[in-house]
Chain A
């Protein structure tokens, strides 16, 4: 087993275990903490693929931004100290059934597809390349999406402020 395989298995195991803990935890802040571990190990997977820029985005935006936002929004609600009630059997069985069918479907589809073994060495994506394609406006350029993102962010900002202000009144 190469060290790359070992690290892949390690990260995947952490992601799987903490994902399950996130959805099964009865205390909402613990769930948020477990989610943090899932997001950090996902960043680890990106580092493993040598896609450093995406890994850094994952760390800054998800682990450092979204998790903090989640914690703030948990503290915004009342009754956070209570444990969530356990679901009754009537709800548990159908949920388990749906989850099993979904998982079986995914597994069948994945197993049926014949993945060709990759012979290409991992391609290192440089930040410089990303920057060049982000601002070039010719073919394979992303200048327009880059500008549209700013409009999208503006819309998100206005929406967030309108919602939060409405809530306060």
Chain B
């Protein structure tokens, strides 16, 4: 049942956007004007390329995020059984967090968490 429901919600969401876009592209009156298709930069004509090279900082944060995301994914099953697991589960997660804490500390000391 769950997969059907997911497809259903996907389709209904797409339907909501699709029908409104279709309506909006047919019904409202349109006018063409070369000025209209210009990029909006507060009235000043746009200069140079838009798609410039970006700061490496964004990439660095994305990769640190991904590593911590993988970690969270592994903690979810642990969290569900923590109550029954007792002392063994607690010790395992302390070791797990200790190693990851080292990683965070390394990133911190190396200045990877600093925005430049």
Whether chain A touches chain B in the assembled complex (some CB pair under 8 Å): yes
Given A146-B92, A153-B67, A160-B64: A61 in contact with B76 (beta carbons within 8 A): no
In the bound complex, do residue A72 and residue B62 qualify as a contact, i.e. CB atoms below 8 Å apart?
A: yes
- The answer, yes or no, to whether A149 is at the interface (CB within 8 Å) is yes
- The answer, yes or no, to whether A100 is at the interface (CB within 8 Å) is no
- The answer, yes or no, to whether B107 is at the interface (CB within 8 Å) is yes
- Stretch of A16-24, A75-83, A105-113 at the chain-chain interface: A75-83
A132 vs B80: C-alpha distance when bound (angstroms): 9
Residue of B nearest to A143 (CB): B92
By size class, the interface of chain A is 35 or more
In the bound complex, do residue B66 and residue A150 qualify as a contact, i.e. CB atoms below 8 Å apart?
A: no
> When A and B form their complex, what is the total count of cross-chain residue pairs whose Cβ atoms lie within 8 Å?
142
A147 vs B49: C-alpha distance when bound (angstroms): 48
By size class, the interface of chain B is 35 or more
Contact code string A82-116 (vs B, CB < 8 Å = 1, else 0): 00000000000000000000000000000000000
A44 vs B9: C-alpha distance when bound (angstroms): 12
In the bound complex, do residue B95 and residue A78 qualify as a contact, i.e. CB atoms below 8 Å apart?
A: no
In the bound complex, do residue A81 and residue B80 qualify as a contact, i.e. CB atoms below 8 Å apart?
A: no
In the bound complex, do residue A68 and residue B62 qualify as a contact, i.e. CB atoms below 8 Å apart?
A: yes
- The answer, yes or no, to whether B21 is at the interface (CB within 8 Å) is no
Give 9 new A-B contacts, CB below 8 A, not counting A131-B76, A146-B74: A44-B7, A78-B52, A78-B53, A131-B79, A134-B81, A135-B78, A135-B89, A151-B99, A153-B67
